[in-house]
Amino acid sequence: MKICVPVIEMNGLQSIVSPHFGRAAAFALVDDETLEVTALQNDGQHHGGNLTPSAIISQAGVDVVLCGGLGVKAVRLFEQEGIHVFNNAAGTVEEVLKAYKSGLLPEATDANSCQEHIH
Q: What is the CATH number of the domain that holds 73?
A: 3.30.420.130
| Torsion angles phi and psi, residue 30, rounded to 5 | -115, 125
Q: How confident is the model at residue 83, as a pLDDT? A: 95
Q: Which domain holds residue 43?
A: 2-117
Q: Collect the ranges in the chain with pLDDT lower than 50.
A: 47-48, 117-119
- Across 89-101, b (16+ Cβ under 10 Å) vs e yields beebbbebbebbe
Question: Which amino acid is present at 100?
Answer: Y
Residue 74: predicted pLDDT: 84
In the prediction, which pLDDT does 75 show?
Answer: 86
Domain count, the chain: 1
